[in-house]
Amino acid sequence: MNDHWIAETTFVLRRRDGSRTPIHVAISAPRQIGPAEWSCTLLLRGVYDDLAPMVGGDAIQALGLAWGLARQLLTTLEATGDVLEYEDGEAVPLSAYFDDP
């Protein structure tokens, strides 16, 4: 599949052991794959390299499911003790990207 990325950024994951891993975050434009089926790809290269596309009944639902998965996976990384940072070392406030649960 040739995805058209509509938004992307790079974070750094600082692991509990001090190692640092770049994470490329990208989300694709939804694309229609059936009469009432749309697909949207989430990329979290560096930590989750094989995510299946999110599928919804329309473009908005597929996009929302992919964005919700991004939130869940990034929040889970932090819950395990790892820290998301910008490339300059400043902490990434996930609340600036996602509403509080």
Instruction: Flag whether the pTM goes above 0.85.
Output: yes
pLDDT single digits (tens) 40-88:
999 999 999 999 999 999 999 999 999 999 999 999 999 999 999 999 9
Q: Please check whether residue 27 is in contact with residue 43, taking contact to mean a CB–CB distance below 8 angstroms.
A: yes
Q: In sequence order, what are the residues at sequence separation of 6 or more whose Cβ sits closer than 8 angstroms to the Cβ of residue 56?
A: 30, 37, 38, 40, 62, 63, 64, 65
pLDDT value for 2: 56
Domain boundaries, the chain: 17-22+31-96
pLDDT of 100 strictly over 70: no
CB 92 within 8 A of CB 11: yes
Q: Which of 22, 46, 97, 89 is nearest to 67 (CA)?
A: 97
